Amino acid sequence: MINYIEKIPNNVDLGQDRILQRALEHWQPAYLNWWYEMGPSESHALQVYLRTAISVEPDGWAQFGYVRMPEYRWGIFLQPRDQNRQVNFGVRKGEAAWQEVPGEHRSTLRRLVVTQGDTEPASVEQQKLLGQSCPSLYDLRNIFQVNVEEGRHLWAMVYLLHRYFGRDGREEAEALLERRSGDADNPRILGAFNEPTPDWLAFFMFTFFTDRDGKFQLCSLAESGFDPLARTCRFMLTEEAHHMFVGETGISRIIQRTCDVMKENKIDAPSDVRQLGVIDLQTLQRYLNFHYSVTLDLYGSDVSSNAANYYTNGLKGRFEETKINDDHLLSDAQYPVLEVVGEKIVSKSVPALTALNERLRDDYIKEIESGVGRWNRIIEKSGLPHRLNLPHKGFHRGIGNFAGHYINLTGEVLSEEAWKKHEHEWLPSPEDKAYVQSLMSGRVVEPGKFANWIAPPRAGINNQPLNFEYVRFD
Ligand code: BYC
């Protein structure tokens, strides 16, 4: 028997809650089976220099040490309760924040928790094989860190399902271990989480773009009137920051290396750049276009009655809800959304309440723009004329007002035929993918060494040197 009180660090009084303990006793072995089957391949015996959260105190949430991943202590943490917290938006604004699920919103809340929870194991599945082609021990450790924390985020949602949603919750918790990313019969819920992540360029793009959707969705759920959900999401956000750091710096290092090689060798053409074994900026741009557009879809339809209901009922707020100065009801407010009319994209004003997905997408885009600006500064500092650009919001969209339309990078509405002709100038072509894959032929595991296509990071993890043994193979 596993001693769950010792095994699962927590601040939810797990030792006192017999029902919850029993539910976890049932779920935990299934989770481990899932980890062995779908977690990082050939990783179970490795000792990895990981951070583990053992409390929510500033000195407790980032304890570093060597761990075999199946023995990782996936803890359950909620940000400490604020006794004065209220519901801050919607028709029940001003009530004390709910400590139990309001009966009438049970199935809606469960659906939100399940959708959030589903993305966590999905991303681990998507990244399963990448350890085999890591560009350094530093990067190998980072992907494993991301993976175990996505595992912990699954635990966080499963805790809510078990503790607050009874039998339905337990069934949903099991189903979270049964769906599989990309599976034809039983796929993950949201589109981007069924896309393959076959190489490290895709991984870094995913952690920059898609993990940031995680941040914005978690921020909105952290505003929820259902206090345990809000507090859980707040704590998840502390870990999410590192995932986005991995993505942003990963792409920065690829850009740096490419620019250095281009300058040293005075070359510009993508074919010459590839000859020297680094990733041309044009391929990088196409990967960016892909990951940005599939992540924009994750915000849902531009106009959504679901989103309006979540808000009106106090279940899911806006990004930084309490910092916004308005009535927090959105009774009369309007918000602009884009739609395709004939061959034009036009802006139209709709009730802001129905446009909350679009608003969150816009908040996200602002942050993405800053990040891409930082990447461009690396190219600029190298004295090269190239720049990375974000495509038009309507480019390559499968959800919402642009779905079914063919929009190019600059926002022109095209015919299907015209779009298809240029598709591989805009999105990674099979050749691009094959080229990037050719760089992933082996893994670099000598401490302090980095693959040819990526620059070393500025600093190691937790003040360790770059040549630290971040993963031990014995
Ligand atoms: N793919 O009214 P709509 C993260 C569905 S990432 C497939 O617009 P709504 C992480 C939608 O579910 C953050 N289906 O939807 C990152 C709905 O279906 P039902 C994850 C989609 O409800 C990296 C129907 O279409 N968290 O944490 O307004 C690594 C109608 O659409 C998609 C959340 O998403 C899609 N892209 O908004 C690890 C937060 N988009 O319910 C982790 C929780 C929509 O009618 N989820 N649909 O069967 C939500 O808040 C909402 O479910 C959504 C959709 C924002 C996703």
SS (H, E, C) the chain: CCCHHHHCCECCCHHHCHHHHHHHHHHHHHHHHHHHHHCCCCCCCCEEEEEECCCCCCCCCCEEEEEEHHHCCCCECCCCCCCCCECCCCCCCCCECECCCCHHHHHHHHHHHHHHHHHHHHHHHHCCCHHHHCCCHHHHHHHHHHHHHHHHHHHHHHHHHHHHCHHHHHHHHHHHCCCCCCCCCCCCCCHHHHCCCCCHHHHHHHHHHHHHHHHHHHHHHCCCCEHHHHHHHHHHHHHHHHHHHHHHHHHHHHHHHHHHHHHHHCCCCHHHHHHCCCCCHHHHHHHHHHHHHHHHHCCCCCCCHHHHHHHHCCCCCCCCHHHCCCCCCCCCCEEEEEEEECCEEEEEEEEHHHHHHHHHHHHHHHHHHHHHHHHHHHHHHCCCCCCCCCCCCCCCCCCCCCCCCEECCCCCEECHHHHHHHHHHHCCCHHHHHHHHHCCCCCCCCCCCCCCCCCCCCCCHHHCCCCCCCEECC
Tell me the C-alpha to C-alpha distance, in Å, between residue 22 and each of 15, 16, 155, 158.
Answer: 11, 11, 15, 13
CA 189–ligand 1 middle distance (angstroms) = 8
Per run of 10 residues, the mean pLDDT along the chain (length 474 residues) is 67 86 88 97 96 85 93 92 97 98 98 98 98 98 98 97 96 98 98 95 98 98 98 95 97 98 98 98 98 98 98 98 97 96 97 98 98 98 98 98 98 97 97 97 95 98 97 93
pLDDT of residue 155: 96
Q: What's the rounded Cα separation, in Å, for the pair 345 and 339? A: 6
State which ligand 1 atom lies nearest to the alpha carbon of 304. 2
pLDDT of residue 6: 66
- pTM, full prediction: 0.97
Q: What's the rounded Cα separation, in Å, for the pair 261 and 253? A: 12
State which ligand 1 atom lies nearest to the alpha carbon of 398. 36
Residue reference for tokens 């939810």: 12
For a mutational test of ligand 1's pocket, the pick from 181, 306, 316, 318, i.e. the residue with the most ligand atoms closer than 8 A to its C-beta, is: 306
Nearest by Cα to 375 from 284, 270, 264: 284
pLDDT of residue 366: 98
Nearest by Cα to 278 from 156, 79, 135, 390: 135
Torsions phi, psi for 454 (to 5 deg) = -145, 140
- Residues in CB range of 275: below 8 A, 6 or more apart: none
State which ligand 1 atom lies nearest to the alpha carbon of 191. 1
For a mutational test of ligand 1's pocket, the pick from 152, 155, 190, i.e. the residue with the most ligand atoms closer than 8 A to its C-beta, is: 190
pLDDT of residue 14: 85
Specify which residues 50 forms β-bridges with: 65
For a mutational test of ligand 1's pocket, the pick from 105, 146, 204, 301, i.e. the residue with the most ligand atoms closer than 8 A to its C-beta, is: 301
Q: For the beta carbon of residue 222, count every other beta carbon within 10 angstroms.
A: 22
pLDDT of residue 13: 87
- Pocket of ligand 1 from Cβ distances under 6 Å: 111-112, 115-116, 119-120, 123, 150, 190-191, 210-211, 213-214, 217, 297-301, 304, 306-307, 316, 357, 399
State which ligand 1 atom lies nearest to the alpha carbon of 189. 7
CA 309–ligand 1 middle distance (angstroms) = 14
pLDDT of residue 5: 61
Q: What's the rounded Cα separation, in Å, for the pair 56 and 234? A: 11
Tell me the C-alpha to C-alpha distance, in Å, between residue 137 and each of 11, 27, 109, 458.
Answer: 33, 32, 40, 15
Ligand 1 atom 44: residue of nearest CA: 300
